[in-house]
Every structure is written in C-alpha cells, then in structure tokens.
Structure 1
C-alpha cells in the first residue's frame, strides 16, 4: 500500500501559528513602551556632565586675561591722576603768593606815579633835592627814574611768572578732567567683566585654599631684594582685590609695589610703569627679587624667587601665593633700584 504523506509547508495539528504581521506589531509595541518608560523616568538616560572645578577655573583664567589689562590700565590712569592732582595743588600754592606779590607791586608803581608825576615830589624828596649838591642832583633824579623803572620790571616779571603757572595749571586741570572721565569709563568696563567672573565663581564648590610659603632663597640677593621678598612672602594667603596695595589685600602690581616700598624703593602702581622703572635683565641672569612680567601687554607681574618660582597675586578668587612662572607667557624681567 502506498504511504500517506503530509502536504508540504503545513503546521502539525495543535502547533501555534505566528504570522509575520504579528511580529511586526509586537516590535512596534516594544518601541512604544520603551519610549514611554524613558518619558516617565523609568529608564535612565545619560545626562550632560557638569563642568569640573578645573574646567571652571580654566574659564575664569581665560576671562581674567581679558579683565587684568583693564584693571592695570585703570591703575595707570589712577596713578597719573594722583600725580597730576598733586602738581596742580603745588602750583596753586605758588600762584597765591604771586597774585598778592603782583598786586602789591602794582600798588607801589601807582604810588610812585602819583607822588612823582601827578602831585610832585613828596616833602622828603623835596628836602633831598634842595640839600643835594649840584653835581649829585642829576644822579638823584636818575636814581628816582631808575627806581620807577625797576618797579615796572618787577611787576612785569611777577605777571610773567604768574601767567606761566596759570597756563600750566590750566593744562593740568584739563588733563585731570580727561583722566577722571577715563577712570569712570574703565571702572564701568571692569564692573561688567567682573560680573561675568562672579557668575563663574558662584558655580564653584566652596573649598579652603592652602598656599605654600616661599622657598628658601639661595644665591646673590641684594639687601633691598631680601626685604622685598620677605615682605611679599608674609602676604601669602592674603586675598586678591583689584586696585589694592595692602596691607591686607593686593592686586598684582599692588603686591610688588608694597614689597619694594618696605625696602625704600617706590614703584608706580601699574605694571607698565614698573617695567620702565627697573633695569632690564635677561632670563638667564634673573635672580631672586627681580620682577617678572607676563603677556605682550605687560598685564601681570610677580616677584621672582629663582628656580622658575614667584610670589604673586594671581587674580580674584586666588590669594597671594607661590607658583611657577611657566603657567603664563613670560614677557621679561626687570630689577628695581
């Protein structure tokens, strides 16, 4: 007998049937459920990482490169303003007695004119002329005429000096007005940039900053440099405050000015002026106590300690500290005194 066979591609009785369409529907349902789970927060999605402290510090440092030149320019205008106000005050003190002197001289000339040319000689002069010998009469008249001439010259000289001082004071007053305006403009710009830095600093975790003290100094160091180094190192840990020159807070040029002031050497509170107030020194010849400057615009300065180390006031948020000079582009060295 022939053997019966099952038709090809047919399911055995009782076996489940899974059409392709059903599988596609199932996959879609899985995708929709997963999306709903993500929306409900059931499945974690990697969040964007918060910036690290180092990254925030780098942002602040970059912004500070923009701010510090403005602060130093402000310091320059303020230093010039103080010098010119002092000059103006000194000139005013000189002008006041000159004004009185010129007024008295004019009164004397007027008195001479009245006595000798309008009303005639006084009784004393008349007696002198009567008692004078004939050969001395001409000399006496010449003397009186010369006296009047000297009075006129005195007045002319006083007025000339007074006019000179008046002219100089007018120039200084105009300069002071200009610099006062510049000071206001720079302060406004500084305030704007400073606000951006404060926003960055607000996102930083609160930490205690510990700074290392100054290292032992070896080698040739002048008496003034030793005093300046000692003074600057005593300020390690003091806060940075722009425009501050001590004794409890500093900006960069304020710290170097304060350090060398203790050694009897006065530096202007401005990095550019401090660059010009010192003797140029090569990096190879630099020694402890020299000033080290940074950036092409000379916007930062520190007190060199040797071995590529310095003590300086870095920026807002960072206290006076010892650090490497290689963290910024070195512009050069100068030796005060």
Structure 2
C-alpha cells in the first residue's frame, strides 16, 4: 500500500528560498516595466501642442461669437421687458385714476339717493326743473356705465401686459443662462489652450505668438489715418467710407484681444470690424455670422480694401481686408490686433459693406 502514496512535495528553505523570491520579484518588475514602456503615450511634439492649441482657440472664438449673439439678444430682451413694464406702470396709474373717479361718483350718488325718484318729483316745487335734472342724471348714468366698461377693458389689457411681461422675463432668463453657458465654454477652452502652450519653451511660445502676422509700423498707421489709399496695397479703397474703416483698423493695431470687446481699448474679431465701420457711419451687426450677410457677397479674386473676410466653416472669424492679400484682425487672447495674410485660415467668404 505504501507504493501508491503520493510523493511528498519539498519546500525550499533558508538561502534557497530567499534566492527564489528575489528572482521572482525581479522578473515581475522587469515584466511590469516592459509592459509600462509599451503602453506609455509618447510626449506630444511642439507641433502637436500648437495644433491642439489652435483648435482650442478656434473653438473658443466660435463660442465667443455665440456669446456675442446671446449678449445682444439678452440686451434686446431686457429693453423690451423694461418698455413693457413702463407701459404696464402707466396703464396701472390710469386704471387707478379711473377707479378713483368712479368711486367719487358712486359716493355722491349714494349721498343723494335717500328718496325714491317719484317722491322727489312730488315734493319738488318745480317739476320741470326736476325732470330736466333727472334726464341729466340718466345721461350721467350712461356715462358711468361707459366708464365702468372702460375700466374693465383697461383691467383686461393690464392683465395681458403683465402676462406678456412674465413671458419676456422668462425669455430673458433663458438668454442669461445661454450667456453663462457660452462664457463657461470660452473660459474652459482658453484655459486648456494656455495649459498646452505652457509646455512649450519660451522661444517656442514666442514663435507661436508671432505665427499669424506682424504689426504695422507707426508710419503705416499714421499714413492710414489720413490717406484714402491703403498703405502698401496695390489698390485704393473703393470709397471714402471703406478708407475710413481701414484707417480705423490701422489705428487699432497693437491693441489687445478681449473676447466680447468692441473697443476702443480692446476688441474681439467682430468687435473690431464693427467698430471700424461704425467710425465710417455704417452700423454692422455684432457677430461674424450676421456680419457676413450685412452687404454684397464678393469673390476672393475681387476683394477690395474695406471688405470683410470670413474664415472657417462656422463663420467664426472675421478680418478687415486691406489689400495685397492682407487683412487686419484681432486673432485671439494674448495676440494683439495685427496684420496677417488671409490665406493663413480656411477662407469662408467675403462681404462688401458699402
């Protein structure tokens, strides 16, 4: 029977056990290191960081234009609500005045109505005078009925105004929530872009900041303020208004980009073009996607100084064309208003304002 017993397993002890444990741990560490090195993501290159930052800045600018549109809509909603509330206050005052007048008439009638009309006629020393007075009282009664009907109408109209004011208040709150949402998106995108750029060296960040154009010289800016011909361009502005818009844009060179800003100390892209044309007496809408419909569409081959040039499929960026394939635009936060080639971004269309 002893021949069928299972052989007893031997265990390692002493130095042999310690040696086996050391080898096992070393093997596990080597395997983990090998697997980790195989799965680790490579560090992004400066070009990849810049490309991702560009994408985030462009998304932030698209959100900025939506913010501008929502802000404008909220402003209109606020003005409309304020006008409606003012009208409701005026009508409330008129309604209270009508009610007070009716109350005075009712009080006077109550005081004079102690006797039955037939008794008053019998006791009257002058029946003809009494009857004439009764006729006047009847007419007064008809006027009173009309006054009551008018008061009822005023009350209905006031209720309608108050209901409409409630709807406009709800619309305003919706616009304000939309504003807050776009503001949060802008801040998130910009913070992410800045975090990416912080991984670049100072020289790389400086090169990135200067990649989309150069500011004009002071002589160019001074010349543009007085000359109807755009400095350095092969063609003159088509009219005095376009020349003034271009001159204004030259005067804004070097001023900072601030999202939502319309000047005079800072601008976003559509804020700059709006301010430039406003200086020429032309009122443009606030956003890129409304400015593109503010004039006549022109092909790229026929661009003239003063034309608005738009970029990206969502029409999220705009600049002011100055001739020679160049524009003045407000690029993004951290980069001031500057001159840049129009072919540095995906071209989406152009508009001639005047």
Sort the TM-score into its range (normalised by shorter chain): 0.7 to 0.9
Structure 2 runs not aligned, ≥5 long: 1-41, 115-119, 121-125, 221-229
Q: Deviation per CA, 1:128-148: give whole Å up to 9, x if none.
A: xx7976996676345313321
* 2:268 is the alignment partner of 1:251: yes
For residue 299 of structure 1, report the CA deviation from its aligned partner. Answer: 0.8
1:325 paired with 2:337, answer no
Q: Highest Rg: 1 or 2? A: 1
- TM-score relative to the length of structure 1: 0.72
- Quote how far apart the aligned CAs of 1:102 are: 0.8
SS in 1 for 2:318: strand
Matched, 1:174 2:170: yes
Structure 1 unaligned blocks of 5 or more: 1-47
- Tell me the CA shift for residue 170 of structure 1: 1.1
Matched with 1:61 is 54
The alpha-carbon distance between structure 1 residues 132 and 308, as it changes in their structure 2 partners (threshold 3 A), is farther
Task: Give the distance between the partners of 1:68 and 1:295, measured in 2 at CA.
Answer: 11
Which residue in 1 is equivalent to 2:202?
A: 205
TM-score, length basis structure 2: 0.69
Q: Which residue of 2 aligns with 1:189?
A: 185
Structure with the bigger percentage of helix: 2
Tell me the CA shift for residue 320 of structure 1: 0.9
The separation in 1 between residues aligned to 2:196 and 2:288, in whole angstroms, is 26
Q: SS at the partner of 2:202?
A: coil
- Alpha-carbon distance between aligned partners in 2 of 1:319 and 1:229, rounded to the nearest angstrom: 17
CA distance in 1 between counterparts of 2:289 and 2:127 reads 75
Structure 1 CA distance for aligned equivalents of residues 157 and 304 of structure 2: 49
In structure 1, C-alpha distance between the alignment counterparts of 2:84 and 2:332, rounded to whole Å: 39
CA distance 1:198–1:309, shift in 2 (3 Å) = same
Report the alpha carbon displacement of residue 56 of structure 1 after superposing the two structures with TM.
4.6
Across the two proteins, how many residue pairs are aligned to each other?
Answer: 281
How far apart, in 2, do the equivalents of 1:204 and 1:77 lie? 38
Counterpart contact for 1:56–1:204, Cα < 8 Å: no
For 1:159 and 1:180, the matched residues in 2 are separated by 31
What RMSD in Å do the two structures reach over aligned CA positions? 3.1
Counterpart in 1 of 2:280? Answer: 263
Distance in structure 2 (CA, Å) of the matches to 1:91 and 1:227:
39
Structure 1 residue 227 corresponds to structure 2 residue 234: no
In structure 1, the partner of 2:68 is: 75
Aligned 1:135-154 pairs, distance under 5 A = 140-154=136-150
Query: Shift of residue 84 of structure 1?
Result: 1.2
For residues 250-281 of structure 1, give each alpha carbon's deviation from its aligned partner in whole angstroms, at most 9, with x where no partner exists. 111111122122223333432223234x1232
Tell me whether 1:87 sits opposite 2:104 in the alignment: no
Q: What secondary structure sits across from 1:119 in the alignment? A: helix
